[in-house]
Amino acid sequence: MKMPKYTVDGSFFVQQLSGIQRYAREILAAMDPMLEPGELEVAVPPDCIVPEYRNIKVVTLPQSSGILGWQRVYGRYLAQSGRCWLGMCNVIPMFHRGNEGIAVVHDVCYKARPDFYTDLRGRTSAVWHCMQYAAIAKKARKIVTVSEFSKSEIVKYYHVNPEKITVVYNAWQHMQRVRPDPMLFGEYSKWPQLKKGEYYFSMSNL
């Protein structure tokens, strides 16, 4: 049977870089050498900076305005090309009625903890993401998530068959590309209280 070809929603390339966008970038970088040329595309908005891929084809779509504008442009491209969608950041083309696709859902926090989102922006974001979660549960051929806990939450809140969900954990290999900076320590450091081997470092966004 001929395998379907996928086009990634690459709108994350113009978004602020957080863990979700980092995951998408690193997964594509890891997949690129394993793919045949043209097997996977990434559709991006105009004028965004995209890494050089060897086998993943980059397709620039017309200018759009806002989230819904991009949904229309991306969905139209999928309909015209006959390709399947691959949403790597909790979002799929909701209004596209063509081929099924694959969605990455990092968590369903907006559904599980609505009390975290109390201001107007938070409530609006919660409505949008809960609509996305429901659409993904209904339309996705396969769901990928990042932990067994997130998988259990998707099953709990959206009654998805567990066999439809695959766990692909967050990775650490990109840290091998980071060179240590010895100037972080010593009397000229911005943080003179840091002592090599005597601290913990945590980076996150809330």
The answer to the question of residue 134 being in a domain is yes
Tell me the β-bridge partners of 40.
6
Task: Provide the mean pLDDT of the chain.
Answer: 90
Mean pLDDT calculated for residue range 108-117:
95
The predicted pLDDT at position 184 comes to 76
Contacts of 201 (CB under 8 A, 6+ apart): none
Residue 140 has pLDDT above 90, yes or no: yes
pTM: 0.85
Residue 48 has pLDDT above 50, yes or no: yes
The CATH number that applies at residue 134 is 3.40.50.2000
The answer to the question of residue 1 being in a domain is no
Mean pLDDT calculated for residue range 31-59:
94
Which of 82, 93, 91, 65 is closest to 12 using CA atoms? 91
The predicted pLDDT at position 206 comes to 59
The predicted pLDDT at position 1 comes to 46
What percentage of the chain reaches a pLDDT higher than 70?
Answer: 97
The predicted pLDDT at position 174 comes to 79
Which range marks the domain in which residue 70 is found?
6-172
The answer to the question of residue 183 being in a domain is no
The predicted pLDDT at position 2 comes to 56
Residue 78 has pLDDT above 80, yes or no: yes
The answer to the question of residue 178 being in a domain is no
The answer to the question of residue 185 being in a domain is no
Mean pLDDT calculated for residue range 128-143:
96
Mean pLDDT calculated for residue range 66-87:
94
The answer to the question of residue 73 being in a domain is yes
Contacts of 10 (CB under 8 A, 6+ apart): 42, 43, 44, 45, 48, 50, 58
145-198 tens-digit pLDDT: 999 999 999 999 999 999 999 999 987 777 888 888 777 777 777 777 878 888
Which of 94, 79, 78, 83 is closest to 133 using CA atoms? 94
Provide the domain count of the chain.
Answer: 1
Which of 119, 122, 116, 155 is closest to 136 using CA atoms? 155
